[in-house]
Amino acid sequence: MQGVGNGEFDSFDFIYKWHLLSTTEKDRYYSDYLCHELNFFISKKDKPYFNSTVKPFIQSKMEKQFMDFYLLG
């Protein structure tokens, strides 16, 4: 995260500007950083993108985990 100084978190600094990104940029970041935590963040902060992109992806997974079931309701 911004200002933390930890390389692992610094790579996720795009979430600070998520609301300003184009769909193409969101797709690129989503593809590069796909994880349960990002799915959860998107489900809370960008419902339209979650419903159009993330939810169909989760629904198509062959082996769903707890967080997948949670996000699907």
2, part of any domain: no
17, part of any domain: yes
25, part of any domain: yes
- Alpha-carbon distance of 58 to 55, in angstroms, equals 5
pLDDT of residue 71: 97
Q: What is the pLDDT of residues 16-71, one digit of tens each?
A: 999 999 999 999 999 999 999 999 999 999 999 999 999 999 999 999 999 999 99
pTM: 0.84
- Please enumerate, as own/partner, the contacts of 10-15 that have beta carbons within 8 Å and a separation of 24 or more: 12/38, 15/41
pLDDT of residue 30: 96
Residue whose tokens read 């489900």? 43
1, part of any domain: no
Q: Is the pLDDT of residue 14 over 50?
A: yes
The boundaries of the domain holding residue 58 are 7-72
19, part of any domain: yes
Q: What is the mean pLDDT of the chain?
A: 91
- Structurally, the chain folds into a number of domains equal to 1
The residues near 57 (Cβ < 8 Å, ≥ 6 apart) are none
- Alpha-carbon distance of 16 to 72, in angstroms, equals 25
